[in-house]
Amino acid sequence: MESEFNEKTELGSKEHAVNHADDDREKRKSIEEACVRRDFETLVRLATSTGGLLTDELRRQAWPILLGYSPEGEGADGIEASQSWRELPRHVDEDQVQLDVARAFVYYPKDESEQSLETKKKQLSDLIVSTLRKHPMLSYFQSYHDVVQVLLLVLGDGPAAAAVSRISLLRLRDYMLPTIAPARKHFELVSAIVKSADPELAEHISQAENSFALSATHSLFAHDIQDYGDIARLYDFLLAHEPVMTIYLFAAITISRRSELLEMPADESDILTFMISKLPKSLNIDALILDTLTLFRQNPPEQLNGFIWWRVSQYSVLKTSRDISRPHSLAEAQMLCHKQIAQLRRDESMKKTARLLLQHRRPIFSLTAALLVAAMSVWFRKSGQDKFLWTLISSTSHLFSKAR
């Protein structure tokens, strides 16, 4: 009886495996056909569905389409086809790049020789430095190399260059500006999403610093996910959707840890911040994607409490890249970057002026009052009303002296 049961179980497993293989073959064919047609909507659906784009071979065809460029036509922007990046001025952050590249490829690829890893590190360094030199308005941030590392491994050395430029200017720009202010808006959005979907959890973790989302969101989770298959599959989803989906994904992960977080003391802000920032080592990527899409549909950014979405800059990637089916060119993205930097400088200048006025409010008030009195005195003298003014002041003083 037991042997019969085992035999049936084995047959069932084989049948399931055959059906799964058939499904994958069918999906692979659909992905290839969508790539040939450059069918963006179909690729989005396939990249989002269970298993994503299946293999790196298919990703090499699909990711350029999702990122909005054609490998053979990227030079049309006049940027990728410009002079060799090696001839361009050195970027200020290149020393930090070398320090981070030295620590790259820790978790993947596995079973690589030392020589092979050194070659990949050289390619990674060149990819990052060339991007920074071609787009010098961008500032490097630690963990940026984790993002570029994924693109390099999936797309290959040469083809990855255009993808790195586009993902930097069109998706990561808010993290590559002179200040962290735009990135803070991303963190505030995480808190607002959690509050909208789960008020009890949001209240419990409200004492935590919302910078807990920094590591995951600014590296598109590449800094925290250690399995290559998982991060490549997750990038299928992220590249198929607008940049704000990264924020919703982090919020979905936070909500999925509800029980664990509610057990922690609400007043231990440092512990809460640390725990929320550290993602679970084992993540069910496909389940999280479904949770993220549900969270996005039920709590769209425009409807979040506190008008948080309306406080996000009009030049933020969260707003300029909402419709990724009609992407900006690199030249347009650079122009948006310059406008965003100019806006940041204006905002910072206004804040400095406000702080200065607050710091010197008493002297400024006294000076303003003195100038006002002086101006009134001149006017009264010119209008011949000065005698009336002094009579009024004298009478008022006399009344006050009697009252005392």
For the chain, domain boundaries: 186-219+238-352, 360-395
Distance CA 161, CA 151 (A): 9
Residue 235 has pLDDT above 50, yes or no: yes
Number of helical (H) and strand (E) elements in the chain, helices listed first: 19, 0
pLDDT of amino acid 267: 87
Query: What are 91's two structure tokens?
Result: 């970027």
Residue 37 has pLDDT above 50, yes or no: yes
Structure letter (DSSP) for residue 323: -
pLDDT of amino acid 77: 45
What is the mean pLDDT of the segment spanning 253-266?
94
Buried b / exposed e along 216-227 (16+ C-beta atoms within 10 A)? bbbbbbbbbbee
Q: For the chain, report the end-to-end CA distance as a whole number of angstroms.
A: 113
What digits encode the pLDDT tens for the residues 283-340? 999 999 999 999 999 999 999 988 899 999 999 999 999 999 999 999 999 999 999 9
Place 79 in a pLDDT band, splitting at 50, 70 and 90: very low
pLDDT of amino acid 71: 73
More confident residue, 127 or 10: 127
Confidence (pTM)? 0.82
Q: How far is CA 290 from CA 10, 218, 248, in A?
A: 31, 22, 11
pLDDT of amino acid 60: 97
What digits encode the pLDDT tens for the residues 348-391? 777 767 666 666 666 656 666 566 655 665 555 555 555 555 55
Distance CA 155, CA 127 (A): 12
pLDDT of amino acid 46: 98
Residues 6+ apart with CB under 8 A from 268: 207
CB neighbours of residue 302 within 10 Å = 8
Residue 82 has pLDDT above 60, yes or no: no
Structure letter (DSSP) for residue 231: H
The CATH code that applies to domain 186-219+238-352 is: 1.10.472.80
Helix (H) or strand (E) holding 333: helix 330-359
Q: What are phi and psi of 92, to 5 degrees?
A: -65, -25
Residue 166 has pLDDT above 90, yes or no: yes
